Amino acid sequence: MAMAARFSPEMEGAETVIARADRLRTETIALADEDARSYAAVLEAYRRPRDAARSVAIEEALGVAADIPLAVVERARDVGELGLRVRRRGNPNLHGDAASAVLLADGAARSAAYLVELNVERGDLGTGRLEQATAWCAELDAMAVRVTEERR
């Protein structure tokens, strides 16, 4: 996304798009590391002796494990917004790159939302996280439809 914006200097707000895309990339890379640590914490919680403290530890670990892919869904939605903007206003030679960013973000969001769902179900964590992931996925899905329809 940042590349397409960098080659669209005439686009209003190009520098803002570039900065946001770069931040999203950095944040998402950090989330991958956090995800690995959270998975280790879930495994560790399951290894504890079977008692009330174990149940609490599992629930807490699964909560963190659900929050990380939820953050990925949010960032994917943000990438979709940037991609749609660049697709509409950026360099016409890079419309395909911008549209691809939206479509890839849509797939990443769906995958991450699935992980949210699994962790929420395993931890009996309520519906809030899953509802938020579903809402963000719906927004991104609408962006993916728009970006492909606008091509025609």
Parse the chain into domains and list their residue ranges.
1-8+54-152
Q: Is 7 helix (H, G, I), strand (E, B) or coil?
A: coil
Q: Does domain 1-8+54-152 have CATH number 1.20.120.680?
A: yes
Q: What is the DSSP letter of 13?
A: T
Query: What is the distance between the alpha carbons of residues 67 and 125, in angstroms, rounded to a whole number?
Result: 11
Q: Are 5 and 86 in contact (CB under 8 A)?
A: yes
> Taking the alpha carbons of 7, 8, 14, 20 in that order, is the dihedral positive or negative?
negative
For residue 150, pLDDT over 90 is answered with: no
Q: What is the CA radius of gyration of the chain?
A: 18
The pLDDT tens digits of the residues spanning 75-131 come to 999 999 999 999 999 999 999 999 999 999 999 999 999 999 999 999 999 999 999
Query: What is the distance between the alpha carbons of residues 107 and 128, in angstroms, rounded to a whole number?
Result: 21
pTM over 0.85: yes
Confidence of residue 152 (pLDDT cuts 50, 70, 90): low
The pLDDT tens digits of the residues spanning 24-57 come to 999 999 999 999 999 999 999 999 999 999 999 9
Burial class from Cβ neighbours inside 10 Å (0-12, 13-18, 19+) for residue 104 reads: middle
Residue 109: its pLDDT value, please?
A: 98
